[in-house]
Chain A
Amino acid sequence: MIVRIFSDGQYRLPEAVHDRLHELDNRTVAAVDAADEAAFTSTYAELIELIHEKGERLDDDDLTPSDLMLPPADISLEEARSEFTGDGLLPD
């Protein structure tokens, strides 16, 4: 699976970490729902760290389409909320 972290790069992740990835992803969303800033920051950092640690970074000019995309590592809780409530972070 190829994962892109915005403002960072693309990573190829082995099957073995998919479950862990989804678990952290769901916990991140739970933290966003609960507006729990501390939980959000730590869980999302853990998620990013998992990808950095287990993933194999692709070259910047690779540009293979990704299976999953993640907001930038320094995203704020507020920005994450807007990702769910509005059109998302991305400008048109």
Chain B
Amino acid sequence: MPGLTGRMSTIVKAKVSKVLDRAEDPAETLDYSYTKQLELLQNVKKGIADVVTSKKRLQMQEAQMQQQLVKLDTQARQALAANREDLARTALERKQNIQTELQGLDTQIAELEDQQQKLIDSESAMRAKLEAFRTKKEVIKAQYSAAEAQVRISEAATGVGEQMADVGLAMQRALDKTENMKARASAVGELEASGTFEDLTQIGSGKDDIDRQLEAIGAGGAVDDELAKMKAELGSGAPAQPALAAPAPDGEETPAAPAPDDGEAASQ
């Protein structure tokens, strides 16, 4: 029969009968297959544990970057207070840079979380199927020792073989998936570790100069905005703004920014 189903059926049946034909004692083959599948299931569990570890590593990295954000923000404020706008700008540029990377990290962590849950679900489904296989296998073994109805035994063994193939494929795919996720997580981890504190303005490989300039425009705008905000908070960055000014009498406030049209009227 043509088609995907036909192809799949042919392959499964060929593999199952190959395994069963090879064996002198089908009972032994079934036991061996079961043991092998149990081992595979352990590998799947270990794979899930590895994915969890990778995720935790990324989460730790995320926490460190959050701390770095706070530190850079503080540094920028200190620099501005000390009238070093250039230094504040550098700090804020780094902050922008880290914020962008944090977003990417967030996405990766969420994805790992999602995949992890799917793997855990499919692991328990595999366990249930393997348990069904174990029970059936014992029944077949009992029939085989009774040496009756050979045809029925081989038929039952074929059914069990299918189940073995089913669980086997599910485990193979789960293992591939965990490997894939681990590789991706560690790739992201390395990228973050090497990229986070590098100066974006350094000439290096990877992005071309246009990419850099485009990024610089965006980042520059965000930095300007933040600088302006900090200046406003700190009182327009005036050199000698006293921290503890004497209470100003009403009407003597001088707005830091250009007042709107009705500002003059209101202040009088």
Contacts and interface: CB of A to CB of B under 8 A. Distances in A.
B158 interface: yes
Contacts of A63: 132-133, 136, 156, 159-160, 162-163
Interface in A23-71: 25-26, 28-29, 32, 44, 60-71
A52 B25 CA distance: 37
Contacts of B4: 25, 28-29, 32, 44, 70-71, 80, 83
A65 B12 CA distance: 11
B7 A68 contact: no
Nearest to A67: B9
A16 interface: no
Contacts of A25: 2-6
A89 interface: yes
B79 to A, nearest CB: 52
Interface in A67-85: 67-72, 80, 83-84
Contacts of B129: 60
Interface residues of A, number: 34
Q: How large is the interface on B (under 10, 10 to 19, 20 to 34, 35 or more residues)?
A: 20 to 34
A29 B8 CA distance: 12
Contacts of B153: none
Interface hub of A7, A25, A62, A71 (most chain B Cβ within 10 A): A7
Nearest to B168: A91
A6 B5 contact: no
Interface string B131-166: 011011000000000000000000110111011011
A26 B9 contact: no
Given A61-B136, A66-B9, A92-B15, A4 B162 contact: yes
A84 B172 CA distance: 18
Contact of B166 (A3, A4, A28, A64): A4
A88 B7 contact: yes
A79 B97 CA distance: 39
Nearest to A40: B4
Contacts of B227: none
A22 B6 CA distance: 10
A69 B5 contact: yes
B162 A66 contact: yes
Contact of A88 (B3, B8, B136, B163): B8
Contacts of A67: 9
13 contacts: A6-B8, A61-B135, A63-B156, A68-B8, A68-B9, A69-B5, A72-B169, A72-B173, A83-B8, A88-B8, A90-B11, A91-B169, A91-B172
Interface of A: 3-4, 6-7, 21-22, 25-26, 28-29, 32, 44, 60-72, 80, 83-84, 87-92
Given A6-B8, A89-B172, 4 more contacts: A25-B3, A60-B129, A66-B162, A83-B7
